[in-house]
Amino acid sequence: MKIVIVGTNHAGIAATNTILDNYKGHEVVMIDRNSNLSYLGCGTALWIGRQIDSYENLFYTKKEDFEAKGAKIHMETSVQHIDFEKKVVHCQKKDGSTFDEQYDKLILATGSLPISPNLPGSNLEGISYLKLFQEGQAVDAEISRPEVKTVAVIGAGYIGVELAEAAKLRGKNVLLFDIAPSSIASYYDDIFTAEMDKRLRENGIECHFGEAVTEYKGSTRAEKIVTTKGEYAVDLVVNAIGFRPNTELGKDHLKTFKNGAYLVDAHQQTSDPNVYAIGDCATIYSNALKDTTYIALATNAVRSGVVAGHNVCGTALAAIGVQGSNGICVFGYKLVSTGLSVAAAQKAGFDVLYTDYEDLQRPGFMRTNATVKIRIVYDKATRRILGAQMGSTEDISMGIHMFSLAVQEGITIDKLKLLDIFFLPHFNQPYNYITMAALTSK
């Protein structure tokens, strides 16, 4: 069987490795328009902020690794068109030459594209985006220029907030804009976003929330940002508004979700039985919503690649759904969440309750300590846990994995009330904040 995989970042790599490591005798062809593969974009801000020593280790594999396993790989090659009826992928190399690849099974791992509103002045120089490795390098080069003193970041989601921190660590004046009333509003409720906003401001980030950018001004390069509330002089603009699924190749043939992502089943199969879609270009099943949705995360991409790789080769493996677990650490403040926030649950139509608790991580007599804040969100009627959020300067990230499993398995808030949680002063309190949050639930 000949399997063609279009896209070689996290999802495509996971699918390819699954096929090559577990199933022998298949011909595997990988195609990507980029000059590199396996770039961990989540480390871009760490490099720009010089919180890591180099960017080289942000690549976890290379072309030669797949060739050694027997795959044929075409880098710097664009897919111009796919003939789904004849099962042919029409390709063009960087030098302009063209070739075709026939397939028996096709895996689309084309990822996502940055959202780029067509605002007046958006064609000016000095306006950057941040997704590909080359874009990260370009932003780093701009921030390294002494004449770039003020950096405007548009979008206060995860990438925007991390980039704002990175630019500040490089000694820049930083303006952070978002149409939402706070940072990271898509992931957390206000008791957590308020703490993050406070941290940003305390560390010198000029926050402009509830402001929509309407125009860029300048002669050849962006010199001012115009918003619904004013004008601001800038030397560099970085857009981090969000992403949309990259589905141009198959949108006229394959069924799509309301946001344009390829609609897939639990086996990552599209409406065409010979075509699978994985990663940011495809839908995913949410265990919190109990419905199909779209969550663009590298972890989800990897899992979907593994599932597709097995199914393409004949092993029926169904995905078990996701919770959208995520985390962020900015200026030492760590937030983790899984499932739905109160705002997201209400928007989805749930009648929800939530329980909050705040306490020290360890007993008060311990020298090393920090406050931990937790919120557990649950359905009022069924009492099923829908999500959880935690924040601290401590690394409390492992706790969110338990809540991820709770959402996946449909555990109720009451099941947590007498959960066996160990106690040792080095680690936690005898009355653990998870237990206490559950015990004080309505």
| 3 state SS of 358 | strand
Q: In this structure, what are the phi and psi dihedrals at residue 337, rounded to the nearest 5 degrees?
A: -150, 160
Q: In this structure, what are the phi and psi dihedrals at residue 371, rounded to the nearest 5 degrees?
A: -80, 140
Q: Which amino acid is at 366?
A: M
User: How far lies 266's CA from each of 58, 303, 307, 308, in Å?
Assistant: 30, 12, 8, 9
With b for 16 or more beta-carbon neighbours within 10 A and e for fewer, the 51-62 pattern comes to eeeebeebeeee
Concerning whether 26 is annotated as a catalytic residue, the answer is: no
Concerning whether 91 is annotated as a catalytic residue, the answer is: no
CA 85 – CA 83 distance, rounded (Å): 6
Tokens of 180: 């939402």
Q: In this structure, what are the phi and psi dihedrals at residue 269, rounded to the nearest 5 degrees?
A: -85, 135
Which of 10, 74, 208, 310 is an active site residue?
A: 10
CA 439 – CA 416 distance, rounded (Å): 8
Residue 418: name the closest of 435, 393, 406 by CA: 435
Residue 386: name the closest of 425, 345, 332 by CA: 345
Which of 26, 42, 253, 329 is an active site residue?
A: 42
CA 247 – CA 233 distance, rounded (Å): 36
Cβ(249)–Cβ(258) under 8 Å?
no
Q: What contacts 107, CB < 8 A, 6 or more positions away?
A: 3, 4, 5, 6, 12, 15, 275, 276, 277, 278, 308, 309, 312
Give the torsion through C-alpha atoms of 393, 181, 350, 392, to 10 deg: 0
By annotation, the residues acting in catalysis are 10, 42
